[in-house]
């Protein structure tokens, strides 16, 4: 099992009420995003059929160091 503890829940401010005190929940890897849906949305919206390439969204270009895939 792969767990990140409460790292992601602190960023999301996701808590649970445990006997009157609110505590951050523990999360699994990638539970803050629907990773598969995110990738599918990028492929669906940024695929250029004429050039047979995927244009990387500007917000992700600095992380991938490219403008097209």
User: Measured in Å, how far apart are the chain's first and last C-alpha atoms?
Assistant: 32
Check whether residue 5 and residue 27 sit in a common domain: yes
Q: Domain of 63?
A: 41-69
For residues 42-54, average pLDDT: 92
Check whether residue 2 and residue 26 sit in a common domain: yes
Total tally of structural domains belonging to the chain: 2
* Mean pLDDT estimate for the chain: 83
DSSP assignments along the chain, one per residue: --EEETHHHHHHT-EEEETTEEEEPPEETTTTS-HHHHHHHHHHHHEETTTTEEBPPHHHHHHHT-SB-
pLDDT for 2 = 59
Q: What is the largest CA-CA distance in the chain?
A: 59
Check whether residue 52 and residue 69 sit in a common domain: yes
Check whether residue 28 and residue 50 sit in a common domain: no
Which residues neighbour 61 within 8 Å (Cβ) at sequence distance 6 or greater?
A: 67
* 42/34: higher pLDDT: 42
């Amino acid at each position: 099992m792969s767990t990140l503890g409460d790292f992601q829940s602190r960023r999301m401010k996701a808590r649970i009420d445990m006997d009157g005190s609110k505590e951050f929940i523990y999360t699994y890897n990638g539970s803050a995003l629907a990773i598969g849906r995110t990738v599918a949305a990028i492929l669906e919206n940024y695929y250029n059929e004429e050039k047979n390439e995927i244009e990387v969204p500007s917000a992700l270009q600095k992380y991938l160091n490219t403008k097209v895939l």
